[in-house]
Amino acid sequence: MWRDWTSWDGSPEGYNYLSGMDYKHLELCLLEFGNGVPIFKDSRSVSGSEVDCFRKYDRKGCSKIVRNIYGEILMAYSDGEADPVPIFEHHTFPEKTGDDGTNFNLVLYRKHVGRNTPHGLPIVFQIKVSGSYYHMYCTEEENRKVLKFKEGIAPTNVEENMKNIIFYQQYFDGTYFKFESAWACGWFLCTEEKNRLHTFALKRAKEGNDEMIAVCLDNVL
């Protein structure tokens, strides 16, 4: 993004207003002089467009129970040998603390460059299973977009090549949310039937609201 340096009044507040971000995190480089006025560019921009870089905003996050439209609970199921997989199951009393694979920590992020996130709130899904932390990410296998978990806590910074862990939280209706992938625009987290089970997957949403992408977030008691 190009910026005319003459519009900055020299104050940190003016700098913040000019850049649209926290001035402490902005990196500028001098490109040229226009009519004797220095013109600067954000060094993290590529070909004149801003790169999607995210920084963890909420260190603690918030614990939620994730439900689909059938009232089923999302859990990170693990057989103890491979990384967990996201599936939906019926639970009688799921709202409890612990690391049973049902209490998801929704970690909030914000963009390095620019404060506006028109797609929604950038979120990373983190879960604790059998004493180990995992976070959800998108990938592609055999020309299909799939969801998986990788071991480790949600990182402090998410660069362009890591944004497959980011999901934009948006309103679906007055009760449900929907989550769009930052890695694959137009693709949303959804409920998918597979081998008579409901799994958490990705799908490209058609025109209008597809109820399969509706996600309910319940507080953990």
Provide mean pLDDT across the span 34-47. Answer: 46
pLDDT recorded at residue 86: 93
Instruction: State the pLDDT confidence band at 1, using cuts at 50, 70 and 90.
Output: very low
DSSP secondary structure code for residue 72 in this structure: P
- What are 161-201's pLDDT values in tens digits? 999 999 999 999 999 999 999 999 999 999 999 888 999 99
Lowest mean pLDDT among 24-28, 119-123, 147-151: 24-28
Could you write out the three-class secondary structure of 2-37?
EEEHHHCCCCHHHHHHHHCCCHHHCCEEEEEEECCE
pLDDT recorded at residue 51: 58
- Go through 135-172 and write b for each residue having 16 or more CB atoms within 10 A of its CB, e for each that does not: bbbbeeeeeebebebeeeebbeebeeebbbbbbbbeeb
Instruction: Compute the distance between CA of residue 154 and CA of residue 135 in angstroms, rounded to an integer.
Output: 6
Domain 54-219 part of CATH 3.40.50.1100: no
> Closest Cα partner for 215 from 174, 165, 179?
179
Contact present, 172 and 213 (Cβ < 8 Å): yes
Indicate if the pLDDT at residue 57 is higher than 60: yes
Neighbours of 38 (CB within 10 A): 13
Q: When comparing pLDDT for 61 and 47, which is higher?
A: 61
Instruction: State the pLDDT confidence band at 220, using cuts at 50, 70 and 90.
Output: confident
Contact present, 130 and 99 (Cβ < 8 Å): yes
Q: When comparing pLDDT for 94 and 12, which is higher?
A: 94
Instruction: Compute the distance between CA of residue 8 and CA of residue 20 in angstroms, rounded to an integer.
Output: 12
Instruction: State the pLDDT confidence band at 62, using cuts at 50, 70 and 90.
Output: confident
pLDDT recorded at residue 201: 96
pLDDT recorded at residue 117: 60
Residue 149's DSSP bridge partners are: 136
Q: When comparing pLDDT for 202 and 30, which is higher?
A: 202
Global pTM?
A: 0.73
Indicate if the pLDDT at residue 10 is higher than 50: no
- What are 91-122's pLDDT values in tens digits? 755 455 455 788 999 999 988 665 556 689 99
Delimit the CATH 2.80.10.50 region(s) of the chain.
Answer: 54-219
Could you write out the three-class secondary structure of 146-215?
EEEEEECCCCCEECHHHHHHCEEEEECCCCCEEEEECCCCCEEEEEEEECCEEEEEEEECCCCCCHHHCE
Instruction: Compute the distance between CA of residue 187 and CA of residue 204 in angstroms, rounded to an integer.
Output: 4
Q: When comparing pLDDT for 60 and 128, which is higher?
A: 128
CA 216 to chain CA centroid, nearest Å: 16
